[in-house]
Structure 1
Amino acid sequence: MVIFHAYYRYAQMLKAQGKYDEANKQMQKFASMAPNDQRAIAFKQNPNYLPKLNEKAKSFDIKNMDINSDKSDFGAVLTNDNTLYFASARINSGLDATTHTFQWYENDAAGVPQPITGATGATYEVNHPGTFSVIATSIATGCSSLPASVVITQSEPAEVTAYVSNAFTDNQSITASDARQGFGGMDVYVIDLNKGTEATNVGKPVNSEKDDFAFSFNTTKNIGFVSSNRGGVDNIYMAIPVCGVEVVSLVRDAKTGAKLSVLLI
């Protein structure tokens, strides 16, 4: 049984809690057990990378969006016609809880719908694949609807998702990874495909100590979106580019007016 992966995962968990010194101890154990692993090599080359990463100038401001719910919402992409597409764990009956009562069902192995205990709201959160249905009953008339069903399929794990975008300059790839040096959990990185450079951490506030992933950017609208569970559940955050301004100051002698220096700020 391969045990060294457990030390790496534990280190990631500690970083997600901001316990970086303890995380380094676990990474040292991981590196000693798997010295040829690329993650171990990167750690040994730069074990105390976080101070420099924290000083990285921010590229974006982020804003939590009103479309988020108390369920899992992620993977937002904005098209040029101003349509925003995203994934959500919400299943919405489309009816109002003030006028109807609800009972949600999940099919068993034989395909027979079984009532889900406590699932009596207008929406139901799904965290696993299956076939679900809901029956709504009118409070006023007592009449029940026909079962409305939805099938939830298993998606790929978050670790392998990547979204390619012209986010910063032409021909760059944006991806999420927890296998590189970051703040903890998954972080968003940028790679210049023209230069073939190493992946660069985008930095805060796009990234955090939690999982940050599914970054997309619309170059026409000049706005991006990133998904993160930093608030306890996957939410969508708007990413607004920070405009850099260069200020040139000319310093002169107060008496003679002679040029002394030029300052770039």
Structure 2
Amino acid sequence: MKIQKLVYSALLLAVVLQNGYSQKAQVEAADKKYEDNSFVDAIATYERIAEKGYKNEKMFQNLGNAYYFNAELPKAEKWYGELFAMNKNQEAEYYYRYAQSLKSTGKYDKSNETMDQFNKKSGNDKRAKLYASHKNYLEVIKANSGRYTIENAGINSESSDYGSALVGNKLIFASAREGSTGKVFEQTNESFTDLYASKISPNGKLEEPKPFGGKNINSKFHESTPVFTKDGKTVYFTRNNFLDGKKGKNADKVTMLKLYKATLVGDTWDNVTELPFNSNNYSVAHPALSPDGKTLYFASDMPGTLGQSDLYKVAIKNDGSFGTPVNLGATINTEARESFPFISDDNKLYFASDGRPGLGGFDVFVSKIEQDGSFKEVQNVAAPINGPQDDFGFIIDSKTGTGFFSSNRAGGKGYDDIYKFAETRCNQQVEGVVTDLETNMVLPNAKLSLFNEKFELQKEFTSDAQGHYAFEAECGKTYYVRATAANYVTKESKVATSTITGKTNQPMALEKVGCQIVIGGDLAKCFGIKVIYFDLNKANITKEAAFELEKILDAMKQHPKMKIDVRSHTDSRQSTSYNEALSNRRAKSTIDWLVKNGINANRLTGKGYGESQLVNKCSNGVECSEEEHQANRRSEFIVTAMN
């Protein structure tokens, strides 16, 4: 947006301003306008000179910057292109701005090449690190796109309209349309913005906007980006440094942005006061409230800011006073611009940034706020909310999935327009098959329960004849699936659903309660005996082996007619003949121990199979881990008769 994409309409622009270097009077005059933030006039002068074939490195920098900071990125791309054609040895920041501008014209390959150069030049810049660690960002954004349908909100003018908030059945927003202050803002040649209100009819259509808040809210300078308390009786909003008829400036005669608060007295907005952490020397703008109304979020370039502007939060105390502002930290903020925060009712932080891999200009990003106040991984909201130019001011009703955002994308009515959107709800299905852990047979009629991350029961299901179950679930959520069945141990598994529409497979293999002895069954599996251990290269029964054999002994005494075939196996790490002989000796030692302890020999058979029945790939010459070899060193006690 032209007017105040964030706090750069004040100090940020002053930071990037350059002194005029041209020897020609026209260039000097344009530079003076540029330094005074009169970008529109400066652009016209610079371009007239450039059209005559005059080339000047500083002029191309200023032209590129003027369009870049006025959010006209396609035009910025043209002049940054001229700059780099003239001299590729530019400061790192120009590589970043050029890369961002290239995205606005769809030149993503060239943008990525320019970002690679920025990465080399910028050293420890977080923007470079984010790009380097997310080289596939376009594929990720593409995969997450299509979750919203958008349309023009129907209230836009030929001027700038942006930065909306909901209160009751009204949308409140900033506009430079005809009928606002009438004063012209030199940076844009548009009127200063006022706040307007548009009533939302029952069918969702927005009615004709009317000025909001009266003269106590709308001054002769900029007002924008309001946010309201739940009861609708308090509003926080952004305004130029202006109160009681006076316009404040810093030492460089730049007017900063400040946050103000007003309360509703009867039908009138009154008691306009500025917040105590404002300053004449830096900007504070674009307020947002936490769902409980106890925390105020905002954008600022105050001391301690990591980039050009950062997001902050401050506690609102019970008596209405404020705590000390806290920077949201490097998880959220970059060396570039973070602005326009919004906190949804489900405690997600939405914000605009041009410091993260995106589609161009400002993109909207989201991060879940955890209970301890930390932030989960930041994600790009993707298309169609985000596009090649500036997209910002995102607000959403998390219950309905509807909301509004602002953009200067092509096809709009004015410079910045407000769009409304509806979320195409992402659909996930958690499904799987319930089976017997030992036999892998499907288990019909098992009870499945779905719990959310707080272990609150959401749904229940009974597995069908094929053991299959399925739950409808939300995307990007953590759930717990619990399976219960008669004669089986209850099992619970954690499952995280994908952030895109699809299915999440969660098989549930259940272990039997106790031991059900059947002909052909392996008592070793029944009792969890993986192997009867012997000393290395020996067949003597150790104390550990005797402990395991006691389980087999007890089962055979409980079932006097049971007969067992003892089978001993080795891994492949000796010769075939050696392994066969060793396993035979171990099978014989096992049988001898059972006979010695009271089992009739005619109930026992046995054999050593050496390495002839490996359960995996680990044959001679194949590299395997110790764990994989261990799987082949096993003892089996196969039930051959029960009567």
Give the TM-score taking structure 2 as reference length. 0.30
Write the letter of the residue equivalent to 1:229: N
RMSD of aligned C-alpha atoms?
A: 3.6
Deviation, structure 1 residue 31: 0.8
> Bigger relative contact order, structure 1 or 2, given CA contacts below 8 A and separation 6+?
1
Q: d(CA) in 1 for partners of 2:185 and 2:120?
A: 48
1:91 and 2:270 are equivalent in the alignment: no
Give the corresponding residue for 1:187: 363
Deviates more, 1:68-77 or 1:174-183: 68-77
Q: Tell me, what secondary structure is at the counterpart of 2:396?
A: strand
**Per residue, is there more helix in 1 or in 2?**
2
The one of 318, 334, 341 aligned to 1:163: 341
Write the letter of the residue equivalent to 2:359: F
Give the corresponding residue for 2:220: 151
1:13 and 2:192 are equivalent in the alignment: no
Deviates more, 1:51-60 or 1:225-234: 51-60
Distance 1:89-1:23 versus aligned 2 partners, 3 A rule: same
1:210 and 2:389 are equivalent in the alignment: yes
Q: How many residues align?
A: 212
Q: Tell me, what secondary structure is at the counterpart of 1:92?
A: coil
Deviations 1:137-176 (A, max 9, x none): xxxxxxxxxxxxx722355699453222216x2x221110
CA contact (8 A) 1:190 1:201 kept: yes
Write the letter of the residue equivalent to 1:50: L
CA contact (8 A) 2:177 2:191 kept: no
Distance 1:92-1:43 versus aligned 2 partners, 3 A rule: same
Deviation, structure 1 residue 107: 11
Q: Tell me, what secondary structure is at the counterpart of 1:55?
A: helix
Distance 1:65-1:8 versus aligned 2 partners, 3 A rule: same
Deviations 1:184-230 (A, max 9, x none): 11011111110521211111111111100011123466521110111
1:127 and 2:214 are equivalent in the alignment: no
1:227 and 2:406 are equivalent in the alignment: yes
Distance 1:7-1:245 versus aligned 2 partners, 3 A rule: closer
Q: d(CA) in 1 for partners of 2:154 and 2:343?
A: 24
1:24 and 2:112 are equivalent in the alignment: yes
Give the TM-score taking structure 1 as reference length. 0.67
Deviations 1:9-57 (A, max 9, x none): 0000001111011101211111111121011112222323212211115
CA contact (8 A) 1:77 1:217 kept: no
Deviations 1:63-104 (A, max 9, x none): 11110122111111122x2111011111328xxxxxxxxxx7
CA contact (8 A) 2:183 2:192 kept: no
Q: Tell me, what secondary structure is at the counterpart of 2:190?
A: coil
Q: d(CA) in 2 for partners of 1:176 and 1:57?
A: 17
CA contact (8 A) 2:134 2:357 kept: no
Q: d(CA) in 2 for partners of 1:209 and 1:105?
A: 31
Give the corresponding residue for 1:66: 154
CA contact (8 A) 1:78 1:218 kept: no
Structure 2, unpaired ranges of 5+? 1-17, 19-89, 194-218, 223-239, 241-256, 258-282, 287-336, 433-464, 471-501, 504-643
Distance 1:82-1:48 versus aligned 2 partners, 3 A rule: same
Give the corresponding residue for 2:137: 49
Distance 1:201-1:249 versus aligned 2 partners, 3 A rule: closer
Distance 1:49-1:105 versus aligned 2 partners, 3 A rule: closer
Structure 1, unpaired ranges of 5+? 94-103, 109-124, 131-149, 251-257
Deviates more, 1:36-45 or 1:49-58: 49-58
Q: d(CA) in 1 for partners of 2:153 and 2:133?
A: 39
Identity of aligned residues (%): 34
CA contact (8 A) 2:338 2:355 kept: no
Q: Tell me, what secondary structure is at the counterpart of 1:91?
A: coil
Distance 1:21-1:66 versus aligned 2 partners, 3 A rule: same
Q: d(CA) in 2 for partners of 1:19 and 1:191?
A: 28
Deviation, structure 1 residue 126: 4.8
Distance 1:126-1:161 versus aligned 2 partners, 3 A rule: farther
Distance 1:86-1:126 versus aligned 2 partners, 3 A rule: farther
CA contact (8 A) 2:160 2:176 kept: yes
Q: d(CA) in 1 for partners of 2:399 and 2:467?
A: 43
Deviates more, 1:3-12 or 1:235-244: 235-244
Deviation, structure 1 residue 261: 6.6
Distance 1:208-1:90 versus aligned 2 partners, 3 A rule: same
Distance 1:107-1:162 versus aligned 2 partners, 3 A rule: closer
Q: d(CA) in 2 for partners of 1:191 and 1:229?
A: 24
Larger Rg: 2
